[in-house]
Structure 1
């Protein structure tokens, strides 16, 4: 696991994801809705496995 994620739980909230990736709310929801970052919902709230954030970041490396 990447060191940038060490302070976060294994499953994070959208707010955590926004902080990790330094993005706004609209971009965060776009990434989730498009499937670029995998997630699941509990009720109306998205939950994102931390490993899915890492996979997304690594997929952007050229």
Structure 2
């Protein structure tokens, strides 16, 4: 399923992957549970970081 997504995801990609609402997706990327990249007002998440988080791996570099 994740093969259809780019290596760097935006919040709407995270929303679709996890099957959650827009508000929940933004709360998640702002939670500090995994590393995100802020480019201006855009928020990007590495697909590999999201997969590791889903699988329960800890990320010591969370923002």
TM normalised by structure 2 equals: 0.80
Matched-pair contact (CA < 8 Å) for 2:36–2:44: yes
Counterpart-to-counterpart distance in 1, 2:31 and 2:22: 14
| Number of positions where the alignment pairs a residue of Structure 1 with one of Structure 2 | 57
Cα distance per residue 1:2-50 (max 9 Å; x no partner): xx21001100111111000001111111111111132111110101100
Gaps (5+ residues) in structure 2? 58-63
Pick the structure with more helix per residue. 1
TM normalised by structure 1 equals: 0.81
What is the alpha-carbon root mean square deviation over aligned residues?
1.4
> After TM superposition, what 4+ stretches of structure 1 lie above 6 angstroms from structure 2?
none
Quote the residue 1:12 is aligned against. 9
Matched-pair contact (CA < 8 Å) for 2:34–2:50: yes
